Amino acid sequence: MFTVLSLLLLTAAHSATARIHSMRYFTTASSQVPNFPELVVVGLVDEVQIDYYDSNTKKLEPKQDWMLKETDSLYWKRQTQIALRSQEVYKHNIETAKKRFNQTGGLHIVQWMQGCEWDDETGEVNGYDQYGYNGEDFISWDMETETWIAPTPQSVITKLKWDQDKALLAYIKNYLLQECPSFLKKILEHGRSSLLRTELPRISLLQKSPSSPVTCLATGFYPDSAMLFWRKDGEDLHEDVYRGEVLPNHDGTFQMSAELKVSSISPEDWRRYECVFQISGVKEDIVTKLDEDSVESNRAKPISVTTIIIIIIAAVVALAGVSAVIGFIVYRWKKAQSTSPAGTDPVVLEPLRPGDGGSNSPSETSS
């Protein structure tokens, strides 16, 4: 399912020796949603929000003080004008999409995610550009073939037209591989103190009962390009191990856990096991030996699994922010949707392309 919430919580697999930086913009246009802006734009760099626009305030604003160092007042005025133009286009997008899917009334949503990634070690650049309609994939850009992918019959019309627009294809390729990475590097430089920092975690070994797995919990680290795993006698373990996902903390740092099944391990063999934490930018591993004295359990200290779950849920809620509201809208639409055989009217999806200066003005992609 294509939702802003799922995209924001999606964590890519990073190497612990290289740092991959990203810039992503999420645009959500909606209709007939009470007390919610018709258009919302959120910009993220390395999962940190850098700016925000909605159709109620009609103004693109920075969310980090160091973003003001990157640009002048004219930049924010230009980008606000782009957003204002896009607001009208997205209204038309929703109406034509309703015709394409033969729908009337109710809640309807068009979502767009565009951005790029840059590996600061290899210099490799990757980009993505994809659209969703009512919580489902609609059309996406294929970087390898430089064409559009249409997952539904209703989006084939858009694919055929956009694939024939050579100016649009060239613009998207240049933006994703040149303009976006260039702007990303500038933002990273000005936001160096927060975006390029490295914070090491606190490591804890937790166990609910003697028969329960031992959980190695690493929390408070930054960035999120980290790995946590178990070893035995210096060899990585793949059996009897469960690795959790990287999750956000309320203070902008991250946490993750890895469980080891110990019911079949004799007490004298515990010291042969160790929990290993690796993070980009730090050569030395953080190693925690599995020792009975170092494991915190309910018997020694009242540390409950419920408490850990509450902490994780609170962290996810804190990160979701705007996207949680968007997720709710998708839910509302799911309940109210009314879908019939597809129509043939085209969808107009004009990109809003925040970037550096006037060169990033949105191209005309009317179908």
Torsion sign across C-alpha atoms 136, 139, 140, 142:
positive
- Residues 1, 44, 48, 120: what is their CA dihedral angle, to the nearest 10 degrees? 100
189, 213: one domain:
no
DSSP state, residue 199? B
108, 212: one domain:
no
Res 293: pLDDT: 85
151, 38: one domain:
yes
User: How many folded domains does the chain comprise?
Assistant: 2
Does residue 367 lie in a domain region? no
Does residue 142 lie in a domain region? yes
Order of strands across the sheet that contains 108-119: 61-62, 48-54, 39-45, 20-31, 108-119, 125-133, 136-142, 147-149
Closest C-alpha to 249, from 315, 293, 198: 315
Does residue 366 lie in a domain region? no
Q: What angle do CA 145, 24, 181 make, to 5 degrees?
A: 70
21 burial class (0-12, 13-18, 19+ CB within 10 angstroms)? Answer: buried
Report the amino acid identity of residue 365.
Answer: T
280, 170: one domain:
no
Does residue 329 lie in a domain region? yes
Report the amino acid identity of residue 308.
Answer: I
148, 107: one domain:
yes
**CATH of residue 342:** 3.30.500.10
DSSP state, residue 222? B
Closest C-alpha to 157, from 117, 103, 207, 100: 100
Q: Which residues contact 169 (CB under 8 A, 6 or more apart)?
A: 146, 147, 162, 163
Closest C-alpha to 25, from 12, 7, 9: 7
Does residue 185 lie in a domain region? yes
Half-sphere exposure at residue 163, Cβ-oriented, CA atoms within 13 angstroms: 16
**CATH of residue 266:** 2.60.40.10
Does residue 272 lie in a domain region? yes
What are the contacts of 356-364 at 24+ separation with CB within 8 A? Answer: 356/179, 356/182, 356/183, 356/186, 357/75, 357/78, 358/78, 359/179, 360/82, 360/175, 360/179, 361/82, 362/82, 362/85, 362/86, 363/167, 363/168, 363/171
290, 183: one domain:
no
Res 5: pLDDT: 37
Does residue 365 lie in a domain region? no
39, 165: one domain:
yes
Does residue 157 lie in a domain region? yes
Q: What is the pLDDT along the chain (367 residues), one digit of tens a residue?
A: 444 434 433 333 333 345 789 999 999 999 888 888 999 999 999 888 999 999 999 999 999 888 876 566 788 888 888 888 888 888 888 988 999 999 988 899 999 999 999 998 899 999 999 999 999 999 999 999 999 999 999 999 999 999 999 999 999 999 999 999 999 999 998 888 888 888 999 999 999 988 899 999 999 998 888 999 999 999 999 899 999 999 999 988 999 999 999 998 998 899 999 999 999 778 899 999 998 888 997 644 444 555 555 555 555 444 444 444 444 444 444 444 443 333 333 333 333 333 333 333 333 333 4
136, 93: one domain:
yes
Res 19: pLDDT: 76
271, 330: one domain:
no
| Cβ pair 107, 329 in contact under 8 A | yes
Closest C-alpha to 47, from 23, 68, 12: 23
Please give the sequence-ordered ranges of beta strands (E in DSSP) within the chain, or none if there are none.
Answer: 20-31, 39-45, 48-54, 61-62, 108-119, 125-133, 136-142, 147-149, 202-207, 214-221, 226-232, 235-236, 241-243, 247-248, 254-260, 273-279, 286-289, 295-297
Res 310: pLDDT: 52
Res 195: pLDDT: 84
For residues 267-302, b (16+ Cβ closer than 10 Å) or e, as one string? eeebeebbbbbbbbeeeeebebebeeeebbbeeeee
163, 104: one domain:
yes
Structural domain for 111, as ranges:
4-194+322-360
300, 186: one domain:
no
162, 219: one domain:
no
89 burial class (0-12, 13-18, 19+ CB within 10 angstroms)? Answer: buried
Half-sphere exposure at residue 277, Cβ-oriented, CA atoms within 13 angstroms: 27
